[in-house]
Chains A and B, each alone.
Chain A
Amino acid sequence: MWKWLHPYAKGEATYRLLGAWLPWLSGLAALLMTVGLVWGLFYAPPDYQQGDSYRIIFIHVPAAMFSMGAYTGMAIAALIALVWQIRTAEWAIAAIAPVGAVLTFVALFTGAVWGKPMWGTWWEWDARLTSELILLFLYIGVLALYYAFNDARTGAKAAAILSLVGVVNVPIIHFSVYWWNSLHQGATITKFEKPSMPPEMLIPLLICIAGFLFLTAALVTQRLRNEILKQELHRPWAQQQLGVEVNHGV
């Protein structure tokens, strides 16, 4: 039943599949982000409490969501890499970590800049903010481990183990606003009741979230393709992809 999946353990097949996806992912990301961010910045109504400062939400919330989403994806890749020893999954860890780290930085930065006018402080050591900061350190740690060893596979294994251990932080971030007293507001969309937001704000936010989903996917795809090429650089197919003519038999 899973046989169709087997070719993708090979670098070349995955590289080609990702190459077919990349234009769609990046096109959708550019389109949805442009529409969502312009709508959010200029056409959504101001908030009755926060005025126009709330417009930071259109970047802050999607970035925070996919900082956690990317981590979950990375942990799944790590599990696959450790259990089935699939190298493509190992390379996916190296592809996801920088993207996740940038999304986490964006979430933290926009949060700080939003916090200054609303809470009166750039930073507070509260549960939500601290656990998100730990997420950034986890990403950096995974990357550092990945490249820390002369033997690439040892590094990939160490990075995979840290990814798996660190995944416990993801639910902690999500539920931190319920478990501890936090300056941070609670969930707006991801709860079972009706979202506490009027549609004029919710629709552009959902478009931004979709845009960031495709952005994350496109960035990971781009980096995973690079990683596959790097690892298979000695093979003729990879050299061909990079524009080098290969004379067979030499």
Chain B
Amino acid sequence: MAFDSWQEAIWMGGYGFYVWLSFGVSLLAIGVLVVHGLLTRKKLATMAVQEKQRKQRLARRQQQERELRSATTE
């Protein structure tokens, strides 16, 4: 270890503010990117479910219309 104590490690010879600011903001920016990627995947899953439900609704309605039409022609 290049420092005698944790206090000194955080103080960084007087440059603690600059060192920790740059490390903190950098890791935060990278973290935001990771989380955004994970959220995008979640959103895509929701979209896929909605797309499936939409198709099912459409198929049901077409089926109903067919039944209705055959009932009126009888």
Q: Give residues in A with beta carbon < 8 Å to B.
A: 37, 41-46, 51-53, 55-56, 59-60, 63, 98-99, 102, 105-106, 109-110, 113-114, 116-117, 215, 219, 222-223, 225-226, 229-230, 233-234, 238-239, 242-244, 246, 250
Q: Which residues of A contact B16 (CB under 8 A)?
A: 52
On chain B, the residues within 8 Å of A223 by CB distance are 37, 40
Chain B residue nearest to A244 (CB atoms) is: B48
Given A43-B1, A44-B2, A52-B16; 17 other pairs, CB 8 A cutoff: A41-B9, A41-B23, A42-B2, A45-B2, A51-B15, A56-B18, A56-B19, A59-B22, A109-B25, A113-B18, A223-B37, A229-B41, A230-B44, A233-B51, A242-B49, A243-B48, A244-B52
* Chain B: number of interface residues, binned into ranges: 35 or more
CA–CA, A243 to B46, complex, Å?
Answer: 10
**Could you say which residues of chain B place their CB within 8 Å of the CB of A244?**
45, 48-49, 52
Q: Given A56-B19, A59-B26, A113-B18, are A239 and B48 neighbors across the interface (CB < 8 Å)? A: yes
Q: Are A106 and B33 in contact (CB under 8 A)?
A: no
Contact of B48 among A59, A109, A222, A233 (CB under 8 A): A233
Q: Are the CB atoms of A110 and B49 closer together than 8 Å?
A: no
A-side contacts of B2, CB under 8 Å:
42-46
7 tightest CB-CB pairs across the interface, nearest first? Answer: A53-B15, A52-B12, A52-B13, A110-B22, A242-B45, A242-B48, A113-B22
Sampled A-B contacts (26; CB under 8 Å)? A42-B9, A44-B2, A51-B14, A51-B15, A52-B15, A52-B19, A53-B15, A59-B26, A98-B36, A102-B32, A106-B29, A109-B29, A110-B25, A113-B18, A113-B22, A114-B22, A117-B15, A215-B30, A219-B33, A226-B40, A226-B44, A233-B44, A239-B51, A242-B44, A242-B45, A244-B49
A225 to B38, CA, bound (A): 11
The number of residue pairs between A and B whose CB atoms lie closer than 8 Å in the complex comes to 111
Tell me the residues in window 25-73 of chain B with beta carbons closer than 8 Å to chain A beta carbons.
25-26, 29-30, 32-34, 36-37, 40-41, 44-45, 47-49, 51-52, 55-56, 59
Main secondary structure of the interface of B (DSSP, over half): helix
Contact A117 B23 (CB under 8 A): no
A59 to B21 CA separation, bound complex (whole angstroms)? 12
Docked pose: A56 CA to B47 CA in angstroms = 42
Are B19 and A55 touching (Cβ within 8 A)? yes
